[in-house]
Amino acid sequence: METIPPLSQPIKVIIFDDSPDIREGFTSLFKFYDDIDVIGTYPDARNVEQIVKTMKPKVILMDIDMPGITGIEATALAKHVAPETEVVILSQLNDDSNIFEAIKAGATGYLLKGSDTDKVVSAIRIVANGGSPMNAFVARQTLDSFRRSMTQISSSEQTVSLSDREKEVLECMCEGMTYKEIATKLNIAIDTVRSHTRKIYEKLQVRSKTEAVLVAIRKKLI
Amino acid sequence: METIPPLSQPIKVIIFDDSPDIREGFTSLFKFYDDIDVIGTYPDARNVEQIVKTMKPKVILMDIDMPGITGIEATALAKHVAPETEVVILSQLNDDSNIFEAIKAGATGYLLKGSDTDKVVSAIRIVANGGSPMNAFVARQTLDSFRRSMTQISSSEQTVSLSDREKEVLECMCEGMTYKEIATKLNIAIDTVRSHTRKIYEKLQVRSKTEAVLVAIRKKLI
DNA sequence: CCTACAACCGCATATTTATGCTAGTTATGG
DNA sequence: CCATAACTAGCATAAATATGCGGTTGTAGG
């Protein structure tokens, strides 16, 4: 399994924050860490899609309050063009109203600006390795909401026999994910996603993603 | 805000674990902490309901693998009779299959048995104060699942005003038709279908046909 | 051992979709 | 009369998807 990047490669980080102090502060800070490489800083998220597409950062530190595009919106845009990029939200306050929006947009981490520099550094390392840094308060909020919304969504009897993996892929499709996003999520190559969709289409007798999703919903395969 | 209990009251803790070493180890450990008071230890969860009802612990450390009733089942039972009790699951491995079951049952914390004693102590303090201790891996698992279920739900309300023609196009999409098929059916050019989809995506805040169909179904726009 | 199958990956190509820009017509309300 | 909206349409380009072909690996059963 070669999913973990070699340690020799520093974690490429981009910072979006309208405060020059924050941008320069973090940039200086990360100079002390060999494994973290700030490859760009921006005062706003105007060209976020273009930026992440060309820079391909591993981690984005995203301020939540920026002029123009908000950090939440920027997160959604960034994750859309580069699902493999991890976003850590920088929030001024422990403003829980934004937590869920941030998560929904695709953020993986949620940090307070007043956090210890240690925390920020470890948060970057954690997200870069597929983890999720959050403090106890944020975790609790998320957990409670998660539990509340967790109703019995178990899959029922099916007339078609999709393999486990095929079902996973189909479920991702039913969440509106693109092949790229599915590949990232399931940690497989995009060509493998294609292979699975081929089999799924064959079994479900369809010719497009939309049809597959419709059949999946109608037959309650998901 | 008076949500935090007075410090003078130690946190009442009960331990369920079939290993005497664990039970005694933690009991001895917590003797060093004035704010943690182990009021009972049990090798299995047979009388968990009776126990929590009478002892009223603030926190339960719950082994996941116990003879008879599992830690998951015991958690559900405990939370049923005493919802104010917080449960921290002790798991042997980083067994993610149990995480969601544990959360659904009502557990707030999820610890590995190999954790530092520091971590266990702070976990107890955190849950007792309404937080949720979890490591980055568990947090990530939860977050991903949460996001998946949330993106489905939260956007159900909102009234979007699609024009008549846009609704027609969307309906065709919901029948799995391609642009070409839609154009033929509605007797318009394929570029016109494109124009309509553009507006539809804008109004529905989506970026693909599949997403549009999913939103249409969810909001019952069709 | 052989066979089947699930899961994985790759490349190539045709088609479809997404999105930017532009722009004509026809209503409709201010 | 003007602005706005809806509907129409075209061109261009990038991205995503659909599909055909090929392959490796590992595991379960005969």
Distance, in angstroms, between A158 CA and closest chain B CA?
21
Q: What's the mean pLDDT in B37-45?
A: 95
Task: Flag if B136 and A137 touch (Cβ within 8 Å).
Answer: no
How far is A15 from A5, CA to CA, in rounded Å? 21
Does the pLDDT of residue A184 top 70, yes or no? yes
pLDDT level of residue B219 (50, 70, 90 thresholds):
confident
Task: Let me know: does A76 contact A102? Beta carbons within 8 Å.
Answer: no
Distance, in angstroms, between B163 CA and closest chain A CA?
22
Instruction: Tell me chain A's radius of gyration from C-alpha atoms.
Output: 19
pLDDT at A17: 95
Residue B26, φ and ψ in degrees, nearest 5:
-65, -40
B151: nearest CB among A139, A175, A209 = A175
pLDDT, tens digit (0-9, with 9 covering 90-100), for B76-96: 899 888 888 999 998 876 566
Structure tokens at A22: 């924050």
Q: Which residue has the higher pLDDT, B85 or A95?
A: B85
Chain A interface mutation, best of B141, B149, B173, highest count of A Cβ atoms under 10 Å: B149
Distance A19 CA to D21 C1' (A): 54
According to DSSP, the β-strands at B36-42 and A86-91 are unpaired
Only one residue has tokens 């930026």, namely: A51
Contacts 24+ apart (CB under 8 A), A98-101: A98/A64, A98/A72, A99/A138, A99/A141, A99/A142, A100/A141, A100/A142, A100/A145, A100/B150, A100/B154, A101/A72
User: Which chain A residues touch B142 with a CB distance below 8 Å?
Assistant: 132, 139, 142-143, 146
Task: Flag if B147 and A173 touch (Cβ within 8 Å).
Answer: no
Mean pLDDT over the full length of chain A: 84
Distance B195 CA to C22 C1' (A): 12
Residue A130, φ and ψ in degrees, nearest 5:
85, 10
Does the pLDDT of residue B156 top 70, yes or no? no
Task: Let me know: does A146 contact B142? Beta carbons within 8 Å.
Answer: yes
Structure tokens at B171: 């309906």
Task: Let me know: does B22 contact B50? Beta carbons within 8 Å.
Answer: no
Task: Flag if A133 and B139 touch (Cβ within 8 Å).
Answer: yes
Angle between helices A179-186 and A164-173 (to 10 degrees): 130
How far is A68 from A201, CA to CA, in rounded Å? 42
**Considering chain A, what percentage of its residues have pLDDT values greater than 70?**
85
Domain ranges of chain B: 11-150, 157-218
Task: Let me know: does B218 contact B159? Beta carbons within 8 Å.
Answer: no
Task: Flag if A131 and B140 touch (Cβ within 8 Å).
Answer: yes
Domain boundaries B157-218, corresponding CATH code = 1.10.10.10
- How many interface pairs between A and B have CB atoms less than 8 angstroms apart? 112
Residues engaging strand D (CB under 7 angstroms): A 53, 81, 178-180, 194-195, 197-198, 201, 207-210; B 161, 163-166, 186, 188-192, 194-196, 199, 208, 210
CA angle B96, A149, A155 (to 5 degrees): 65
Structure tokens at A104: 């929904």
**Considering chain A, what percentage of its residues have pLDDT values greater than 90?**
46
How far is A208 from A198, CA to CA, in rounded Å? 10
pTM of the predicted model, to two decimals? 0.72
| C-alpha dist (Å) from residue B17 to A85, B13, B53, B119, B140 | 41, 13, 19, 18, 27
Out of 3.20.20.120, 3.30.428.10, 1.10.10.10, 1.10.3720.10, select the CATH number for domain A164-218: 1.10.10.10
Distance B30 CA to D10 C1' (A): 76
CATH architecture of the region A11-148: 3-Layer(aba) Sandwich (3.40)
Q: What's the mean pLDDT in A34-52?
A: 92
Q: With H, G, I as helix, E, B as strand and everything else as coil, classify residue A28.
A: helix
Chain B interface mutation, best of A140, A172, A184, A186, highest count of B Cβ atoms under 10 Å: A140
Only one residue has tokens 């993996």, namely: A165
How far is A178 from A79, CA to CA, in rounded Å? 11
| C-alpha dist (Å) from residue B172 to B23, B52, B184, B199, B216 | 63, 57, 11, 15, 11
Distance A2 CA to D28 C1' (A): 27
Task: Let me know: does A111 contact A213? Beta carbons within 8 Å.
Answer: no
Closest residue (CA to C1') to nucleotide C10 in the complex: A191
Q: What is the dihedral of CA B13, B17, B22, B25, to 10 degrees?
A: 30
User: Which chain B residues touch A174 with a CB distance below 8 Å?
Assistant: 214
Place domain B11-150 in its CATH homologous superfamily.
Response regulator (3.40.50.2300)
Distance, in angstroms, between B149 CA and closest chain A CA?
7
Which nucleotides of strand D are protein-proximal, with an atom < 7 A from a CB? 5-12, 15-23
How far is B51 from A177, CA to CA, in rounded Å? 47
Task: Flag if B213 and A211 touch (Cβ within 8 Å).
Answer: no
Q: What's the mean pLDDT in A179-205?
A: 93
Only one residue has tokens 């970026």, namely: B207
User: In chain A, count of helices (H) and strands (E)?
Assistant: 10, 5
Task: Flag if B208 and A176 touch (Cβ within 8 Å).
Answer: yes
The full DSSP string for B80-137 is HH-TT-EEEEEESS--HHHHHHHHHHT--EEEETTS-HHHHHHHHHHHHTT---B-HH
pLDDT at B135: 75
pLDDT at A157: 37
pLDDT, tens digit (0-9, with 9 covering 90-100), for A54-92: 888 999 999 998 888 889 889 989 998 888 899 999 988
Does the pLDDT of residue A222 top 70, yes or no? no
pLDDT at B222: 52
pLDDT at A7: 46
Q: Would you list which residues of chain B are within 8 Å, Cβ to Cβ, of chain A? A: 100, 103-104, 106, 108, 126, 130-137, 139-140, 142-154, 173-176, 178, 206-211, 213-214, 217
DSSP structure class, residue A129: T
**Half-sphere exposure of A110 toward its Cβ, with a 13 Å CA cutoff?**
28
Task: Flag if B132 and A149 touch (Cβ within 8 Å).
Answer: no
Q: What's the mean pLDDT in A147-166?
A: 59
**Interacting residues of A42 by C-beta distance below 8 A, sequence separation 6+:** A14, A15, A16, A51
Q: With H, G, I as helix, E, B as strand and everything else as coil, classify residue A194.
A: helix
